[in-house]
A and B are shown apart, each in its own frame.
Chain A
Amino acid sequence: MNTHDTAAGAAPEGELLAARGLAKSFGPTTALHNASFDIDPGEMVAVMGASGSGKTTLLHCLGGMLHPDRGRIHYRGRDLTALSESQRSGLRREEFGFLFQSGGLVPELSCLENTALPLRLNGVRRKSAHRSAEEWLERLGVDGTAHQRPGEVSGGEYQRIGLARALITEPAILFADEPTGAVDSLNEEKVMRLLVDAARRSSTAVVLVTHEARVAAYADREVTVRDGRTRDLVQGGAE
């Protein structure tokens, strides 16, 4: 297990994504104070914290959805905070995948179309996008839902479709925000196992935001966010 220094400084070599000294406020509320984060290619890191601790804001900053007030985020050596909005959009589209608690599936599209959406946003032709979406749905065991709408499938299936959609572009990083927040324990396990399995197979790094230890336990290590600050877990005691 790697030991990461949380002190400010240049991002170490070989890291996929590294953030230093992030701060973000929404009006009077400070969501991030001084947060840092690193992840290696293929690594799976859980971001834990109580609700309101700022973990989702951290995820949004890391995923290029939010622009931090202060701090730097480097992705493969590129400074995310220096990119234009459309460059960040492109990065999100092509190199990042997202899985949200509420799934974020477009209710008007069929599950197949939802899955194919990121590819189609990248300009891939409908036919080949759908072919690839079918493969992914099958791989995650939800190929039966292809022509149903997201509103018609069960919670577990919904998240698996969301996972298929997040992974269809074979992203370098998957950002998962409470991916099992809305499903029961049994489905939680199915979703997590599929997630871990798929991520390992395509050596996708995973940033897993969760407040549940059982979910975090699937990760390689944990980062805790408390009051907008990050701290890597003390590797004492057991080691």
Chain B
Amino acid sequence: MSGQAARRGPTGPLRWVREVALGVRMSVSGGRDSWVRLALIATAVGAAVALLLGAASTPTLMDARAERDEARSYDQTQSIPEPSADTLLVGYADSDYFERGIVGRVLVPEGPRAPAPPGVDEVPGPGEMVVSPALKRLLESPEHRLLRERLDYRIVGTVDPEGLLGPHEPAYYAGADKSELSPAMSMVTRIDDFGAERRESEPSPAILLLVLVGASVALLPLGVFVAAALRFGSDKRDRRIAALRLLGADRWTAGRIACGEAVIGALAGIAAGVALFLPLREVVSPMRPGGIDVFAADIVPHPVLAVVVCFGVVALAVGVTLVSTARAATDPLGVTRRAARPRRRLWWRAALTAAGAALLAPMATAGDEFAGGSESLQAAAGLVLLLLGAGALTPWLFQVVVSRARRGGVAWLLAVRRLRADGAAETRAVTGVAVAVAGVIALQSLFAGVAERFDNPEPMNPGMPPYTARVNAQDPSAAEGTAERLRSVPQVRDVRTVVEYQRVEGPDGSLAMRVGGCDALRQYARIGTCSDGDVFVGEDGAAPAAPAAPGDRLRVLGTGEAASWTLPGSTRAVPLSETARQDPANAVVGVLATPGAVAEAGLPGSVVRASFDVAPATPRAVEEVRTAVRELGPTATVTANTMPGNVQVIDSLRGLLTALVAASLGVIGLGLLISTVEQLREGRQALALLAASGVRGRTLAASVLYQSAIPLAAGLLVAAAMGTVLGGLLLRMLDYPVEFDPVAIAVTAGAAAAVVLGVTLLSLPALARLVRPDNLRAE
């Protein structure tokens, strides 16, 4: 008809906008049901978005922490400024207290304009300190008397958040007398301002891999879950799309209208996510899930990532919609007739999995260790593909199981038939669980392997005694006092002290010198026979000659006046001990002298280094030693001779990932509950019909339970298989022995099963309400 053409409206984008708007209109104007559906989608997507926004805050969070860390650091490598009215002496005075690291600095202003550290208004005077709120709480509680004794300063103020990495960080700045600190002391320097660039240390490959796996495991199920949530009520939508197609909407118009519907759900979800995120971050800070110590104000999504999350959700909505409405759009008659769905195909699901395995396999079989860099990208891609493969295989396996199911009771029959007829919604919900569980199992295997290596740290230096105290001393004779003070602490054994001069200028360059008794010197070199008055020069096997020879004149620098001393003729060259050669801190080849040999030289003070053992090494005894040592000077420290750092990193990583995975599973559980109720709502007429024809409520409940349990079983089966394979591959990538922990796998699967079954139980009240006869009435 000629009139038709004239009536045609605009084409192109404007028309598209209208079509999308029509979709939006349809999704919100279906009365109560539509709003319920939209609310369900918004809740589910919102929970996921809130979590994703949290994850997207990690970079900003790390940046903020790093920024504050840099702001309160100072550069020790730069040349030391001349003392002036602007300068400040800073001594490093960190301390450990029962696994807690306390950040501490001792400050001596050298003039009225001396800088104050960030978060501190005024440099505290001698005998005073400002503390962080967390440390203040510690010091105030009576059970931490030992710490109070150690930090024996008057509290005159608090460190503001800008000077802290997190609200729970224990930190203090103490003031000291000018006589107590000198820039010549070890770990003491003079600065005219705070702030220094710190170089990030490269994470170890194992930890990088853990982070990669962890992030995939925690976040991927959320993606799968969001995709599932966006399809709540999709049966009805399919029928709507089919109706539009029959009216003559072409495939793309129908698609755009469907997208309009999905996008409104996604947008509502994003809005809900933001609304949820804001109060949630206030909760994270005081609750410290997984031991994360962050300021709520630091939890700000990275702008790019936030945009990625939002666009990702919308893009996912559009993608999922186009894929899921493809059938309704191409075969509208099939949908209106509710014809059987096409069989699920195995090939692309298997291909996805195989592609993932193919990406990981070369790294697992190669001899060298996982190296990070471009390999991390490949590893991440492989991981994601394998996990998605687990999600994709679940519906297929589920279909195989259902189509093979043999007869059982009425409840079983009802469930199997219902699932065979459709089951798409049930499997969709379980797919997220399968992905999460597969990831968690892989993560557990990896953790088990990595933790085994890190949890049993060997002594860093086998020959060395387990503890070392370092005390800045004004006088070489302080070595005696240090030894005495240590010996007075119960359980302390085997105390040996040396005075260490790290800056000794000889004719051929700088070297180190250590003064101590024969016993103490034996730690550094095989000196053979020794008596007071002997002098030795350490000789590295690799170096051809000793750095100093008898008769060399040495200039010894320390705290106070530098002294000159000539190596006596009796000086012997001795080979370094095995432990000294291995310890990079002792690698400076140097002079070893007994006190008698230098008694006349008038050497300046320097660092007293005391090595000792604590037996039995109870935590309490170690803390008492630390407190005792701190009496000897504000910068005196005790270190344990064990591998530092990694245990803590692994622990905090484990805590963080456990929290994330738990949150993820929680969100999925919530989504499952929503989707179960949603399905019950969709099938209420059939349920009410069954109830009306005399099927017992118990039978119906059992059938609902089966309907969740059967897909779940398929999902867990796939997840267990996939998770172990993935875990094995990851361990191989690190060249760790491949071992599995069946108990942990069972516990994980059990937890997931508990979530699903718990959800079903929670949905039973809804079932009871839905089978009331008034639901017999058609909509």
Contact = CB atoms under 8 A, between A and B. Distances in A.
Nearest to A121: B249
A149 B249 contact: no
A169 B8 CA distance: 11
Interface stretch (B239-247, B373-381, B711-719): B239-247
A86 B29 contact: no
A108 B18 contact: no
A105 B247 CA distance: 10
Contact of A151 (B10, B25, B779): B779
Nearest to B4: A94
Contact of B251 (A89, A105, A113): A89
Given A106-B243, A120-B18, A89 B1 contact: no
B570 interface: no
Given A98-B247, A104-B243, A110-B29, A122 B1 contact: no
Interface string B763-779: 00000000000000001
Nearest to A150: B779
A200 B1 CA distance: 17
Nearest to B34: A108
A67 to B, nearest CB: 11
Of the candidates A85, A89, A102, A170, the one having the most CB atoms from chain B within 10 angstroms of its own CB is A89
Interface string B253-281: 10000000000000000000000000000
Given A110-B29, A120-B22, A123-B8, A93 B1 contact: no
Nearest to A126: B18
Given A108-B26, A108-B240, A125 B248 contact: no
Contacts of B26: 106, 108-109
Interface string B1-29: 10110011111000100100010011101
Contact of A108 (B10, B30, B252, B333): B30
B197 interface: no
B235 to A, nearest CB: 13
A100 B247 CA distance: 11
A96 interface: yes
Given A108-B27, A170-B1, A60 B244 contact: no
A82 interface: no
Of the candidates B7, B25, B30, the one having the most CB atoms from chain A within 10 angstroms of its own CB is B7
A156 interface: no
A172 interface: yes
B31 A149 contact: yes
Interface in B23-71: 25-27, 29-31, 34
Of the candidates B11, B31, B247, B248, the one having the most CB atoms from chain A within 10 angstroms of its own CB is B248
Contacts of A124: 7-9
A107 interface: yes
B22 A65 contact: no
B28 to A, nearest CB: 8
B248 A91 contact: yes
Interface residues of A, number: 39
B250 interface: yes
B710 to A, nearest CB: 27
State which size class the interface on B falls in.
Answer: 35 or more
Interface in A100-134: 100, 102, 104-110, 113, 117-125
B115 interface: no
Nearest to A104: B243
A221 interface: no
Given A106-B26, A110-B29, A85 B8 contact: no
A90 interface: yes
A66 interface: yes
B332 interface: yes
Contacts of B27: 108
Of the candidates A65, A105, A125, A170, the one having the most CB atoms from chain B within 10 angstroms of its own CB is A65
Of the candidates A92, A100, A123, A169, the one having the most CB atoms from chain B within 10 angstroms of its own CB is A123
A95 B18 CA distance: 22
Contacts of B1: 94-95, 170, 172
B247 A107 contact: no
Contacts of A60: 333
B246 A65 contact: yes
Contacts of B251: 85-86, 89
B54 to A, nearest CB: 35
Contacts of B7: 119, 122, 124
Q: Which 7 pairs from chain A and chain B are nearest by CB?
A: A123-B9, A93-B248, A92-B248, A108-B30, A89-B250, A86-B250, A94-B4
Given A86-B252, A89-B248, 4 more contacts: A86-B250, A113-B29, A151-B779, A170-B1
26 contacts: A65-B332, A85-B250, A89-B249, A89-B250, A93-B250, A98-B247, A100-B246, A102-B336, A104-B246, A106-B240, A106-B243, A107-B30, A107-B236, A107-B240, A108-B29, A110-B29, A118-B247, A118-B248, A122-B4, A122-B8, A123-B9, A123-B10, A123-B11, A124-B8, A124-B9, A125-B9
